[in-house]
């Protein structure tokens, strides 16, 4: 098996089975990413002008892009590649498990996407962002008001000062209103709770501003609200502050500041923050690159249930990055994530069963996990392996017809090895 790649990116959120809506966490230009200029990938519109490449980071399958795209959507695990014409100002994406989402590029500072340039679009579960996305020992603040005083001047006018409610009751009303998509009502009651110093309310006002729910979207204003809660130790807000610094969203980009806030939340055992600290160490974002520290923090996150961290630990154990190479441990963590429907872990399991690394060789099991990764996550590498298995009769009855079918699916998702296999077989 080839060296496993760390393809599970730390900005992803776990896809909850009950999730229905996605939100844009960030859209940003990647000036040092030359993928759009790659001759093999490059696409042009009908006038011969080069397209922009949009890398969509989302743990769901994109079934359709409404307009402005040239050619098929290419799926590379959790990364979806969409080539967009330079005349396109907005797109609507349809998903397998979520409602459609419209992205207006102007909302993120871009009138349109420049040809031959690569952009990164991060999508997260909206409800998960609203209610917090990490295991946070600080969440007892949801059950009690903080003793820190926050004046009405600090939180803004709520027009609700006459309400005779506890902050906890106000937040419950706000949460119900949010679920019902009555964002104006949610904002009113969150403001009331915020006036009483309830940090959970401060955080959720930040969420509303961040995504334009009930108010005009304003990431700079969102940052202010997150900061009020973050400075009082609310871990979810600390993660949000770290993310805005990382993306330069509503505040000047600063990887060092991003890392500082992620670390504050991670030290409270916020699993999402632990993962982000680990990845900061892995890539050297805002801190000196250190694989051993990356492994340490990703392991903490994995132990706290972060699926993406489990995938990263699988890779690091398999490759011996930041820790002693250990196929048995790699298999253990891959299995933990795979049974929770993490596509990349499923594909890794298939490879380990196929090669007998960390587990007894079992080609039938390998095929099973490759198929799961291909069907659930659209994993193009898994499609290539399925084609190989059918072509060679490994774990399944030999069938060139089925091999070609899987190669075609993988090629449609941009897998170069599938394209080569089809050419070799005369297709």
pLDDT in tens, 11-29: 333 323 233 578 888 888 8
Residue-level pLDDT at 147: 30
Same domain, 86 and 193: no
Indicate the pTM of the whole model. 0.67
Q: Residue 257's domain spans which residues?
A: 132-282
Domain boundary among 85, 105, 125: 125
Same domain, 101 and 140: no
The position carrying tokens 């009138």 is 111
HSE value, Cβ hemisphere, 13 Å, CA-based, for 359:
20
Same domain, 250 and 392: no
- Answer whether residue 307 is part of any domain: no
Q: Quote the CA–CA distance of 114 and 50 in Å, as a whole number.
A: 9
Same domain, 118 and 161: no
Same domain, 228 and 335: no
- Answer whether residue 42 is part of any domain: yes
More confidently predicted of 162 and 326: 326
- Answer whether residue 348 is part of any domain: yes
- Answer whether residue 16 is part of any domain: no
Element (H, E) at 64: strand 62-65
Q: Quote the CA–CA distance of 292 and 80 in Å, as a whole number.
A: 30
Say which DSSP state 251 is in: S
In the structure, what pLDDT confidence band is assigned to residue 130 with cuts at 50, 70 and 90? low
- According to DSSP, the β-strands at 74-76 and 62-65 are unpaired
> What value does the CA radius of gyration of the chain take, rounded to a whole number of Å?
23
Structure token digits, residue 305: 């249930």
- Does 359 have pLDDT greater than 60? yes
Phi, psi angles (nearest 5°) of residue 121: -115, 115
HSE value, Cβ hemisphere, 13 Å, CA-based, for 5:
7
Domain boundary among 282, 310, 341: 282
Element (H, E) at 125: strand 118-125
- Does 9 have pLDDT greater than 70? no
Q: Three-state SS for 155?
A: helix
- Does 132 have pLDDT greater than 80? no
- Answer whether residue 228 is part of any domain: yes
Give the total number of structural domains in the chain.
3
Same domain, 277 and 140: yes
Q: What is the mean pLDDT of residues 352-376?
A: 94
The position carrying tokens 């048995």 is 328
Same domain, 153 and 274: yes
- Answer whether residue 317 is part of any domain: no
- Answer whether residue 299 is part of any domain: no
Lowest-pLDDT choice from 58-72, 171-185, 377-391: 58-72
Nearest residue to 404 via CA among 396, 394, 420, 367: 420
Phi, psi angles (nearest 5°) of residue 104: -95, 115
Residue-level pLDDT at 344: 80
What's the CATH number where 190 sits?
Answer: 1.25.40.10
Contact 296, 331 (CB under 8 A): no
Same domain, 99 and 142: no
- Answer whether residue 231 is part of any domain: yes
Residue-level pLDDT at 42: 77
Domain boundary among 104, 125, 146: 125
Same domain, 264 and 329: no
Same domain, 139 and 254: yes
Q: Quote the CA–CA distance of 201 and 222 in Å, as a whole number.
A: 12
Same domain, 153 and 119: no
The position carrying tokens 């079918």 is 405
Residues 86-95 pLDDT 10s: 888 889 888 7
Residues 389-407 pLDDT 10s: 999 999 999 999 999 999 9
How buried is 327 (Cβ within 10 angstroms: 0-12 exposed, 13-18 middle, 19+ buried)? middle
Same domain, 244 and 330: no
């Amino acid at each position: 098996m080839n060296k496993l790649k760390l393809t599970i990116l730390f900005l992803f959120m776990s896809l909850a089975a009950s999730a229905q809506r996605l939100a844009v966490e960030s859209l940003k230009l990647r000036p040092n990413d030359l993928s759009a200029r790659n001759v093999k990938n490059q696409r042009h519109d009908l006038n011969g002008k080069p397209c922009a490449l949009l890398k969509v980071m989302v743990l769901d399958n994109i079934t359709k892009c409404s307009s402005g795209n040239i050619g098929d959507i290419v799926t590379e695990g959790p990364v979806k590649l969409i080539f967009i014409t330079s005349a396109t100002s907005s797109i609507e994406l349809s998903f397998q498990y979520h409602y459609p989402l419209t992205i207006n590029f102007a909302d993120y500072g871009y009138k349109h996407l420049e040809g031959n340039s690569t952009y990164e679009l991060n999508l997260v579960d909206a409800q998960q962002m609203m209610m917090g996305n990490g295991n946070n020992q600080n969440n007892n603040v949801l059950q009690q008001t903080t003793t820190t005083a926050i004046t009405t001047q600090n939180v803004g006018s709520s027009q609700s000062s006459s309400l005779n409610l506890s902050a906890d009751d106000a937040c419950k009303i706000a949460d119900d209103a949010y679920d019902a998509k009555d964002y104006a009502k949610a904002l009113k009651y969150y403001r009331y709770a915020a006036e009483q110093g309830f940090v959970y309310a401060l955080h959720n006002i930040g969420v509303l501003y961040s995504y334009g729910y009930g108010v005009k979207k304003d990431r700079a204003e969102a940052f202010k609200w997150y900061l009020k809660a973050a400075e009082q130790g609310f871990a979810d807000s600390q993660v949000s502050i770290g993310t805005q610094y990382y993306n330069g969203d509503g505040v000047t980009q600063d990887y060092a500041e991003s890392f500082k806030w992620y670390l504050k939340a991670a030290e409270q055992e916020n699993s999402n923050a632990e993962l982000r600290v680990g990845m900061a160490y892995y890539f050297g974002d805002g801190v000196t690159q250190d694989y051993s520290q990356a492994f340490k923090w990703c392991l903490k996150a994995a132990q706290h249930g972060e699926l993406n961290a489990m995938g990263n630990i699988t890779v690091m154990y398999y490759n011996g990055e930041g820790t002693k190479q250990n196929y048995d441990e790699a298999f253990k963590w891959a299995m933990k994530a795979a049974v929770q429907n993490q596509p990349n872990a499923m594909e890794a399991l298939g490879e380990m069963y196929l090669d007998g690394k960390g587990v007894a060789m079992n080609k039938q099991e390998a095929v099973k996990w490759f198929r799961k990764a291909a069907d659930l996550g659209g994993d193009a590498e898994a499609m290539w392996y399925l084609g190989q298995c059918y072509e060679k009769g490994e774990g399944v009855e030999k069938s060139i017809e089925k091999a070609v079918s899987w190669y075609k699916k993988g090629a449609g998702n941009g897998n170069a090895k599938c394209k080569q296999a089809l050419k070799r077989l005369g297709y």
